[in-house]
Amino acid sequence: MLHRLRFVTGTDTGVGKTWVTAGLARRARARGLRVAGLKAIESGCRRAPDGSGALIGEDDEALVEAAGAWQGPEDRCRCLFEPALAPGVVADDLGVRIDLDAIEQQARSLVARTDLTLVEGAGGWTVPLGAGRTISDLARRLAAPVVIVGRAGLGTINHSVLTVRAVAADGLEIAAVVLSRQATDDLATARRNAAEIRSQTGATVVVSDELDRVLDRL
Which residues are marked as active site? 39
- Residue 189 burial by Cβ neighbours in a 10 Å radius (0-12, 13-18, 19+): middle
Q: 81 near 42, Cβ under 8 Å?
A: yes
Q: Burial letters for 145-163: b for 16+ Cβ neighbours within 10 Å, e otherwise?
A: bbbbbbbbbeebbebbbeb
Radius of gyration of the CA atoms of the chain, in A: 17
